[in-house]
């Protein structure tokens, strides 16, 4: 496995060098590169950022046109890049600058062929970008602008390969995807087999070479398989992935009446709805898939003009939804097997919503439900234990997020093993990951002293363990714990407060220790 992985990496690096050596492969615009350098400085000078963007009058004009468009809905006109930085913030203006610069260089000189439809490519990309931004807004992410740019550039590797390799790559395209996409898993497999790397990996490696933001690189690398993204980027990657599914609803409707399948839009809408349901569970906020589809049309048309991309005939969002619903009903009536499959997939999404993707433990949602049940119906005593890895931020800062994920997984496994010897009671003990570096135990049938002993068993097991790190070497960590006991009639919120106070007392007491509070009524 390691040898195969190394061979794939070598093949991907060789392919990247080949593309970079092509005279048709663009380079990162100087203004974009300079802006990236400026925003990485410890104290960002907004005046210098504005001055740099203004060096390119066409770029500055596009940024201001976009800031003043209905896409951002400003109540008053923004007249300078300096003002835009104040109103929208550095993050949004930086992302717009990157977007205009990168779309400009990638679109310049691009040509359609039988195997690749350039206007269709940009239409799908814009639809994906607008939908990804709306989904990120619904998920209340801070990275809405990055999700827009990630949706816009998610398949830029396809464009790079088509423009640089020409007929050689078009043979791969013909095998793996229609001319206007989607460029999904079948194409990725065909690319890996023929070229040694797929378009998502290639584009992400190009982003790294150009020192583009880490989040943008992750969005491009993982847009097909967001579940494989680092945990702190996973939800944003899922938004970009779902944005691609939204674009398929529009593109399938575009194809109807030509050589398209009349049921394709309905199938695409069903897949998008499922993805949105999963996103809503993952984010913890309600989302309306059809409202997002309905809002994509007008915003996409405006962004196409702002980015000066090829015009294509667009279907009204409300009309598209009516047609997609009708097609979906036809699919349901025609195929009971397909309907059963969709139901099983939906059920799996609901089940997955209560499992932490990194550790496989129950998540906060599941734990809250179990704790509420004990508080309402327990006939005996039970205890709540909160566990927190000491100095975890320094693990991520020093060793990287991959190392942090390895530590979290290891602590989860150690904790499960440590509580496995606890006498089994109905429904417990339950180990969960609350979020970040915080875990919790729900232990039925024990008093405060027994729960504190169990917590200390976990603490000692974690202290004694050493975890191998992905980049080599190993690392040990400690944890602190807060314990409280409860009984039927206790309020979950009050138990959390008591356990949290105990945990903070353990932290204040020097960490790598246990503190407990008496039973809550």
Could you read off the pLDDT of 193-234 as tens digits, one per residue?
998 899 999 999 998 988 888 999 999 999 999 999 999 999
The predicted model scores a pTM of 0.58
E strands, 414-459, are 430-435, 438-444
Which of 75, 107, 139 is the C-terminal boundary of a domain?
107
Within this chain, do residues 19 and 32 fall inside the same structural domain, yes or no? Answer: no
Within this chain, do residues 222 and 335 fall inside the same structural domain, yes or no? Answer: yes
Total tally of structural domains belonging to the chain? 3
Placement of tokens 């915080």 in the chain? 438
Q: What is the CATH number of the domain that holds 501?
A: 3.30.70.270
Q: What is the pLDDT of residue 4?
A: 46
**Angle, in degrees to the nearest 10, between helices 231-255 and 144-153:** 50
Q: What is the pLDDT of residue 320?
A: 56
Within this chain, do residues 62 and 78 fall inside the same structural domain, yes or no? Answer: yes
Which of 107, 142, 165 is the C-terminal boundary of a domain?
107
pLDDT digits (tens, 9 = 90+) for 82-126: 888 888 788 888 888 888 888 888 877 677 788 788 888 888 888
Within-domain flag for 358: no
Q: Which residues contact residue 313 at a Cβ distance below 8 angstroms, ignoring those fewer than 6 apart? A: 254
Within this chain, do residues 431 and 312 fall inside the same structural domain, yes or no? Answer: no
Within this chain, do residues 168 and 235 fall inside the same structural domain, yes or no? Answer: yes
Structure confidence at residue 290 as a pLDDT band (50, 70, 90): confident
Within this chain, do residues 435 and 420 fall inside the same structural domain, yes or no? Answer: yes
Query: In this structure, what are the phi and psi dihedrals at residue 298, rounded to the nearest 5 degrees?
Result: -65, -40
pLDDT digits (tens, 9 = 90+) for 151-193: 999 999 998 888 888 888 888 888 887 766 688 888 889 998 9
Within-domain flag for 357: no
Residue range of the domain that includes 378: 364-517
Closest to 66 (Cα-Cα) out of 42, 97, 20, 111: 97
Q: Are 292 and 246 in contact (CB under 8 A)?
A: yes
Within this chain, do residues 66 and 166 fall inside the same structural domain, yes or no? Answer: no
Provide the total of helices (H) and of strands (E) in the chain, helices listed first.
Answer: 23, 7
Structure confidence at residue 260 as a pLDDT band (50, 70, 90): very low
309 vs 137: CA distance, rounded Å: 24
Q: What is the CATH number of the domain that holds 335?
A: 1.10.3210
More confident residue, 75 or 39: 39
Which residues are identified as catalytic? 437
């Amino acid at each position: 496995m390691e040898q195969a992985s190394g061979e794939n990496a070598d093949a991907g690096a060789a392919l990247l060098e080949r593309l970079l050596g092509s005279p048709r492969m663009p380079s990162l615009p100087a203004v974009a590169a300079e802006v990236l350098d400026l925003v990485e400085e410890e104290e960002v000078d907004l005046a210098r950022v504005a001055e740099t963007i203004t060096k390119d009058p066409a770029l500055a004009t596009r940024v201001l046109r976009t800031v003043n468009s209905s896409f951002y809905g400003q109540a008053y006109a923004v007249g300078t890049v300096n003002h835009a930085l104040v109103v929208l913030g550095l993050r949004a203006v930086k992302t717009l600058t990157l977007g205009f610069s990168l779309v400009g260089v990638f679109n310049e000189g691009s040509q359609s062929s039988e195997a690749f439809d350039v206007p269709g490519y940009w239409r799908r990309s814009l639809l994906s970008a607008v939908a990804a931004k709306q989904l990120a807004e619904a998920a209340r992410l801070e990275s809405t602008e990055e999700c827009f740019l990630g949706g816009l550039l998610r398949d830029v590797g396809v464009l790079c390969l088509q423009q640089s390799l020409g007929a050689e790559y078009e043979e791969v395209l013909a095998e793996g995807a229609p001319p206007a996409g989607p460029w999904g898993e079948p194409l990725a497999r065909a690319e890996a087999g023929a070229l040694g790397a797929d378009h998502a990996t290639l584009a992400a490696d190009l982003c790294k070479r150009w020192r583009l933001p880490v989040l943008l690189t992750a969005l491009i690398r993982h847009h097909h398989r967001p579940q494989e993204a680092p945990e702190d980027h996973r939800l944003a990657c899922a938004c970009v992935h779902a944005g691609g599914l939204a674009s398929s609803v529009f593109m399938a409707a575009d194809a109807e009446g030509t050589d398209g399948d009349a049921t394709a839009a309905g199938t695409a809408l069903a897949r998008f709805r499922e993805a949105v349901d999963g996103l809503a569970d993952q984010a913890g906020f309600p989302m309306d898939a059809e409202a997002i589809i309905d809002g994509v049309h007008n915003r996409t048309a405006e962004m196409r003009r702002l980015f000066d991309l090829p015009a294509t005939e667009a279907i009204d969002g409300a009309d598209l939804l009516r047609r997609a619903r009708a097609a979906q009903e036809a699919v349901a009536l025609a195929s009971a097997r397909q309907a059963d499959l969709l139901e099983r997939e939906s059920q799996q999404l609901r089940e997955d919503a209560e499992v932490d993707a990194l550790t496989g433990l129950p998540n906060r949602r599941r734990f809250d439900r179990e704790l509420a049940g004990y508080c309402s119906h327990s006939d005996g005593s039970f205890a709540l234990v909160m566990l927190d890895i000491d100095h975890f931020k320094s693990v991520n800062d020093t060793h990287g997020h991959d190392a942090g994920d390895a530590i979290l997984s290891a602590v989860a496994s150690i904790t499960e093993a440590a509580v496995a010897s606890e006498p089994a009671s109905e429904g417990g003990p339950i180990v969960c990951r609350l979020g970040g570096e915080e875990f919790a135990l729900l232990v039925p049938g024990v008093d405060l002293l027994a729960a504190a002993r169990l917590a200390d068993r976990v603490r000692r097991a974690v202290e004694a363990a050493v975890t191998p790190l992905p980049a080599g070497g190993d690392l040990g960590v400690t944890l602190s714990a807060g314990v409280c006991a409860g009984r039927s009639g206790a309020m979950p919120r009050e138990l959390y407060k008591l356990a949290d106070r105990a945990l903070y007392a353990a932290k204040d007491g020097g960490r790598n220790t246990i503190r407990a509070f008496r039973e809550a009524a």
